[in-house]
Amino acid sequence: MKGNEAIAHAAIRCGCDGYFGYPITPQSEVLETLALEKPWETTGMVVLQAESELASINMVYGGGASGKRCMTSSSSPGVALMQEGIAYMAGAEIPGLIVNVQRGGPGLGTIQPSQSDYFQATRGGGNGDYNVIVLAPASVQEMADFVDLAFELAFKYRNPAMILSDGIIGQMMEKLVLPPFKPRRTEAQIQEECPWATNGRKKERQPNILTSLELDSAIMEKKNLHLQAKYKEIKEKEVRFETLMCEDAEYLIVAFGSAARIGLKVVEMCREEGIKAGLLRPITLWPFPSEEIARLGQRVKGILSFEINAGQMVEDILMATNGQTPVAHYGRMGGVVPTPDEVIRALKEKLIK
């Protein structure tokens, strides 16, 4: 099935309570599949086409605040519109899942695939000092697997989580094993697991108030310090990545999502030519696998950040390597998908020389 369809099926299967979305190419199949599957008749999952992305994300905000597993999906311009709500979720510590099936920008841009929302996803995107947990699937299988993983992480840390996919993975058809069915949590389970949730104050507790507002700057700073401590813990515990042929590599390609699939071919072709290339694929874009890249950076002659954008992740690689390793970027924009040949050419021109 298509990547977008996999997201929808995985949501139904992982105990998702609510999906709220607004159509946009190239991800409309998520809402369409859910509408066809009618999960409200089986698992009781709520599916609603909202009036805008603004409304969708605020429905996720409300649903998450009440302790339910809620999600939305969209594509780049729509996710841009959601940034206000995501910042509010981060500020009020409300868990939820946002899926971005990226297309090229800026602005209305193109409906063709791109990875140009890397900054938006990993730098917060909205106002204030905050981070969103970002997972980057590179296959239809991972589109399905990451839905439950994202919810688990979001609720574990009371933080919004994002699946940063793109039009290639969203529209691509692949075989996959759908995750096993997991029932939606009962009211008692939600009240036990989410004692902070706003779903009706029980007599034995104080009212729960979920807000991102605090006018006293001393208290607001404390709140920020609490968030920063949480982000530090996430950075320590939740970094995920995959490496291929890195141990003897002289040149390291770093690529995520659909670019990593091209990167795989690049490494194979390089090896055939006698160039010892390896691939590191960050699975979490935030937290970023900085330590592993720094470690490999000590041993390789150069790192090529290969992204389908103008060069965004390359900044994280530069920070990780801190000037110790030559680092270059190669990418295309506007919905153009690079071929392995041009990546190898770039590797030779920019790093091997």
Partner 1 sequence: MTEEEIIRPENLVYKKPTLLNDNPMHYCPGCSHGVVHKLVAEIIEEMGLEEKTVAISPVGCAVFAYNYIDVDWIEAAHGRAPAVATAVKRLWPDRLVFTYQGDGDLACIGTAESIHALNRGEHIAVIFINNAIYGMTGGQMAPTTLMGMKTSTCPYGRVADLHGYPLKFTEIAATLEGTCYVTRQSVHSVAAIRKAKKAIRKAFENSMQGKGASLVEIVSTCNAGWKLSPERANQWMEENMFKFYPLGDLKDTTAEK
Bridging pattern class, strands 160-166 and 241-244: unpaired
**Of residues 54 and 80, the one with the C-beta less far from partner 1:** 54
67 to 57, 151, 190: CA distances (angstroms): 15, 12, 6
For residue 53, what are its two tokens?
Answer: 């992305």
According to CB under 8 A, which one of 7, 12, 24, 70 is a site residue for partner 1?
Answer: 70
Query: Is residue 339 a contact residue for partner 1 (CB under 8 A)?
Result: no
CA gap 59, 323 in Å, rounded: 44
For residue 343, what are its two tokens?
Answer: 């990546």
According to CB under 8 A, which one of 3, 15, 18, 257 is a site residue for partner 1?
Answer: 18
Give me the count of residues in the chain.
Answer: 353
Query: Is residue 38 a contact residue for partner 1 (CB under 8 A)?
Result: no
Query: Is residue 54 a contact residue for partner 1 (CB under 8 A)?
Result: yes
For residue 31, what are its two tokens?
Answer: 């809402």
Min. distance of Cβ 191 from partner 1 in angstroms? 11
Q: Which stretch binds partner 1 (CB under 8 A): 2-10, 59-67, 250-258, 279-287?
A: 59-67
Query: Is residue 51 a contact residue for partner 1 (CB under 8 A)?
Result: yes
Min. distance of Cβ 134 from partner 1 in angstroms? 22
CA gap 314, 330 in Å, rounded: 9
Residue 137 near residue 143 (C-beta atoms within 8 A):
yes
Please name the amino acid found at residue 46: V
Min. distance of Cβ 323 from partner 1 in angstroms? 41
CA gap 311, 60 in Å, rounded: 31
Min. distance of Cβ 124 from partner 1 in angstroms? 16
According to CB under 8 A, which one of 4, 33, 43, 66 is a site residue for partner 1?
Answer: 66
Binding residues for partner 1, rule: CB under 8 A, are 17-18, 20, 46, 48, 50-52, 54-56, 58-63, 65-66, 68, 70, 84-85, 88, 92, 198-203, 206-213
